[in-house]
Amino acid sequence: MRAESASLPARERSDWKRIAEALELDVIVGRLHLRERLVEDEVMKRFDASRYSVRRAFDEMQALGLVVRSENRGVSIRGFTTKEVADLFGLREILESAAALQIPMPVAAEIVDRLAAIQKKHDAATKKGDFYKLFQLNNAFHQTLYSSCGNEALTQAIARYSLQVQPIRMRFVHDEVRRRQTADEHWAMIEAIRSQDNAALARICAKHLSVTKTMFLRSEGEPARAAKTSARASAHAR
CATH of the domain at 182: 1.20.120.530
CATH number at residue 42: 1.10.10.10
50 alpha carbon, distance to own chain's centre:
29
Contact 29, 130 (CB under 8 A): no
Runs of H (alpha helix) within 10-105: 10-28, 40-47, 51-63, 82-102
Rounded distance between C-alpha atoms, residue 13 and residue 5, angstroms = 6
Question: Do 111 and 223 belong to one domain?
Answer: yes
pLDDT at 168: 81
| Residues 58 and 173 placed together within one structural domain of the fold | no
Which of 77, 95, 120 is where one domain is finished?
77
* 107/225 same-domain check: yes
| Residue-range definition of the domain harbouring residue 154 | 82-237
Residue 103 makes CB contacts below 8 A (sequence gap 6+) with: 145, 148, 149, 150, 193, 198, 201
Specify whether 201 is located in the same domain as 142: yes
Together in a domain, 229 and 170: yes
The predicted structure's pLDDT at residue 141 = 97
Residue 8 near residue 49, CB atoms below 8 Å: no
The residues facing 39 across adjacent strands are: none
Cα–Cα distance measured from residue 180 to residue 177, given in angstroms and rounded to the nearest whole number = 5
Among the candidates 29, 59, 77, a domain finishes at 77
The pLDDT tens digits for 97-106 are 999 999 999 9
pLDDT of residue 34: 84
Number of domains in the chain: 2
How large a percentage of the chain has pLDDT more than 90? Answer: 53
Mean of per-residue pLDDT scores for the chain: 86
